[in-house]
Structures are given as C-alpha cells and as structure tokens.
C-alpha cells in the first residue's frame, strides 16, 4: 500500500512543476512582446538609443538691462505716533462726559468734568488764610517802620527793633506758604476739567458719568492716539546694520513703504525716522521706526504690514525674474533659449534681489531669452516651443517629453 501512495505523490508534484514552468514561459513571452519597440519610435531614436528632442512648450522672458531698487523686507506693526491714556488727576464724582467715542479732538479740548465744589471750597479757604496772613504782614511792616524811626531817635532798645524785623520776615515766609497753598488749590480745581493732552482720535469710553474716579485708576477714562502722522515699528537682522548705517551717515532719507498682508497693495509711503540704540541679543535684530503721513487713515494702530525699506539702487544691471533662477548640484543656473530654439543650461552668479527680480552679475547678457515656465521638463539641448504671454499655464503640460 505504501508504494502506490508514493508514486501518486510523485506524479502530482511533477504536474505542479510543469504547470509552473509553463506559466513562467507565458509571462516571459508576454513581457517581450509588450516591450518591443515599434518602428516609428525606433526611428525617433538616435544612434545611441536616446530620444531626439521633442518640442517642449515653455514661456520665456528677455533679460533686461536697467536699474534695480534694493529693498530690505520686514514685518511691521503700526503704532500711534503719540498715545495717551486720559486719567483723572483728582478724586471725585464724574459729573459730565462731553466727548463722543471715536471723535477727533484738539489739544486742550474739554473731555469731561469732575464735581468741582469741594475743590472750590478748598481754594476759598486757602485764599482766606492768605488774606489774614497778608494783613498781619502789612501790620508788622508798618510797626517796623515806626520802630526804625524810634530807634533813630534813640527812643527804644535795639532788641525791640530786632524782634519786629524778625516778625516781618516770619510773616513774609508765611505769605509764600499761603501763595503755594492757593496755587495748589487752584491747580486741583483746574484738574476737575479733564482736557485732551494731545490732538488725536479718541477710543472707547471706559467710565460713564456718575462714577467715582480717582488718580489711582489704571484704565483711565479713554485712550487718545495721534494717527496722523503714524509710526510703524519693525525689525531687521543685524547683518543689514552696516549698509543701513552707511546710508544714514551719507545723509540719505530712506524711503519706507507699508504694504498689506498679501504684499499686493501699497498702503502708505513714508521714511525711516530712527533706529534703536542696541541690538536684541535674543533675536539678533535691531528695532526701527518709520514715519508715515496717514491721511486718509489707511494705517491703523496694531495693524500688521509688510515693510519695504528702500536702501539703494543698482544701475546698469542685467535683471531677470527671480522665478527663472534654478538651484542644483551644478550650482545656480538658468535655461537660455538660443536662436535655434534649443535650451542651454547656463551657470550664473546672483546679485541683489528686490520685488521678485534679481540682478545677474555673471553668465547672462541683456536681450537673452531666459525660460520662466516649463523648466521642469527641460534638458540641456532640448528643442523648445515658445508659448506667447497670456497662455494658460495648463497648456505647458500638454506635451509629454520622454525621459532622457
């Protein structure tokens, strides 16, 4: 019984191996037929078996010679040129608020009033005390004149004259104290009229009439900000400080621009006002302050803006869009299209960049055509098809270039 069973297993194993071999043979035949080049594609190959260049659609731009403004870019925060929290300088009941929220006020304009009656009474008391002491002073001076005449007649002792002179000086000193008290009482009474310390725009009211206010209130009654002119604070890396200081020492007024968040719209133009006197060691930057005329009100406090600081201008430079510049193992390069519509990989040396434009110091001449779009499908020596401006960028992907 064991021998027939072993023979059956052997035949089954032989059939499985034969079926596997036939399947592998069929797979190899299918792969060979599917990868055999057709005559048309074979004709397109050169002697070395590589693809001849097919036209690659690209958009080009001409390298121009001109002036390139050099800007330093930063993020900035708009701040009022002057900002004041209006607080009461005396204690009392706020009896009247005469301003409107958001109103523009001039310096010295009345904003609110505190109940003045207690301060009027204090002023009257100080003035009354002053009058009493002035009367005593006047009487002492009259007696001194009388004592001086008697002394000349040798009718009184010297001690009496000295005592009267001391009394006059005492009342004169008291008169100064009284005048100081009157001035202080009058100043306190004036502070019951709360006026605008600067010209500017008011914020939201923080205290209503009827509340008790005091000199210790930290929030105050309202904030007042000067919005025209207005300032923008921003930071620049310390590596830019040398060029910046050099321009300032030469007496140049550095134009500064404030752009919106998208960097698409110019909000205001101004100039660099000043810079901080020390570098922030934690960030390696230095703070700067620019001044802007803000009429109409295009800049608002605490608004974030993109800052462009005009630093210099590069004349007679070869300029191309920064997007045309490529970076690879061979260094920095661009693709240049020659008169035969073939792409040439050209090593270049970059210069300063500004506003998405870059100056090329070496490797490119004015008037040469540089590939701007379609670079990802290019190879050195490839034939290109120039796409006119205004073409949909999707059309640059219609031609499939075989791998080189």
Q: Which residue has the higher pLDDT, 226 or 15?
A: 226
357-381 confidence digits (pLDDT tens) = 888 888 888 888 999 888 888 888 8
Give buried/exposed letters for 77-111 (b at 16+ CB in 10 A, else e). Answer: ebbbbbbbebbbebebebeebebeeeeebeeeeeb
Q: What is the pLDDT of residue 7?
A: 65
Give the model confidence (pLDDT) of 152-206 as tens digits: 888 788 888 889 889 999 999 999 999 999 999 999 999 999 999 999 999 999 9
Poorest-pLDDT segment among 73-87, 96-110, 141-155: 141-155
Asked if residue 58 has pLDDT above 80, the reply is yes
Q: What is the pTM of this model?
A: 0.63
Which residue in the block uniquely carries the two structure tokens 């607080």?
87
To 10 degrees, the CA torsion angle through 338, 342, 345, 347? 0
Alpha carbons 72 and 87: distance in angstroms, whole number: 40
pLDDT of 2 = 45
With a pLDDT cut of 90, the percent of the chain lying above it is 44
Give 323's strand partners.
Answer: none
Give the chain's radius of gyration (CA, Å): 45
Model confidence at 3, pLDDT cuts 50, 70, 90, reads very low
First and final CA of the chain: distance in angstroms? Answer: 67
Average pLDDT over residues 81-106: 92
Is omega for the bond preceding 296 within 30 degrees of 0, making it cis? yes
Question: What Å distances lie between residue 16 and 11, 21, 27, 246, 283, CA to CA?
Answer: 9, 9, 17, 88, 74
How many Å apart are CA 152 and CA 297, to the nearest integer?
80
In the predicted structure, residue 45 carries a pLDDT above the cut 60: no
Minimum mean pLDDT among 49-63, 208-222, 347-361: which range? 49-63
């Amino acid at each position: 019984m064991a021998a027939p069973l072993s023979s059956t297993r052997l035949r089954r194993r032989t059939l499985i191996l034969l079926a596997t071999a036939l399947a592998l043979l069929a797979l190899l035949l299918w792969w060979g037929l599917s990868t055999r080049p057709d005559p048309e594609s074979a004709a397109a190959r050169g002697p070395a078996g590589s693809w001849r260049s097919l036209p690659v659609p690209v958009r080009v731009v001409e390298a121009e010679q001109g002036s390139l403004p050099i800007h330093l870019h930063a993020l900035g925060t708009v701040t009022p040129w002057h900002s004041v929290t209006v607080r009461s300088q005396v204690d009392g009941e706020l009896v009247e608020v005469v301003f409107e929220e958001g109103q523009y006020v001039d310096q010295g304009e009345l904003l609110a009033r505190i109940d003045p009656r207690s301060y009027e009474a204090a002023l009257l008391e100080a003035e009354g005390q002053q009058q009493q002491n002035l009367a005593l002073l006047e009487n002492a001076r009259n007696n001194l004149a009388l004592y001086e005449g008697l002394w000349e007649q040798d009718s009184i002792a010297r001690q009496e004259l000295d005592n009267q002179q001391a009394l006059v000086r005492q009342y004169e000193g008291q008169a100064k104290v009284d005048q100081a008290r009157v001035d202080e009482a009058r100043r306190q009474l004036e502070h019951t009229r709360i006026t605008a310390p600067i010209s500017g725009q008011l914020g939201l009211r923080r205290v209503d009439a009827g509340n008790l206010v005091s000199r210790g209130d930290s929030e105050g009654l309202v904030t007042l900000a000067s919005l025209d002119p207005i300032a923008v604070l921003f930071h620049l890396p310390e590596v830019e400080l040398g060029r910046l200081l050099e321009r300032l020492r030469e007496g140049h007024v550095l134009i500064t621009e404030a752009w919106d968040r998208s960097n698409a719209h110019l909000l205001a133009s101004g100039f660099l006002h000043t810079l901080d006197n020390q570098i922030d060691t934690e960030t390696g930057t230095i703070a700067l302050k620019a001044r802007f005329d803000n009429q109409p009100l295009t800049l608002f406090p605490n608004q974030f803006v993109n800052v462009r600081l005009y630093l210099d201008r590069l004349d007679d430079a070869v300029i191309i869009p920064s997007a045309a510049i490529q970076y690879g193992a061979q260094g920095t390069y661009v693709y240049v299209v020659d008169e035969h519509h073939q792409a040439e990989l050209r090593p270049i040396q970059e210069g300063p960049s500004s506003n998405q434009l870059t100056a090329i110091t070496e490797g490119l001449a004015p008037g040469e055509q540089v590939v701007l779009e379609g670079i990802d499908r290019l190879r050195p020596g490839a034939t290109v098809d120039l796409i006119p401006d205004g073409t949909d960028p999707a059309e640059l992907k219609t031609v499939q270039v075989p791998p080189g």
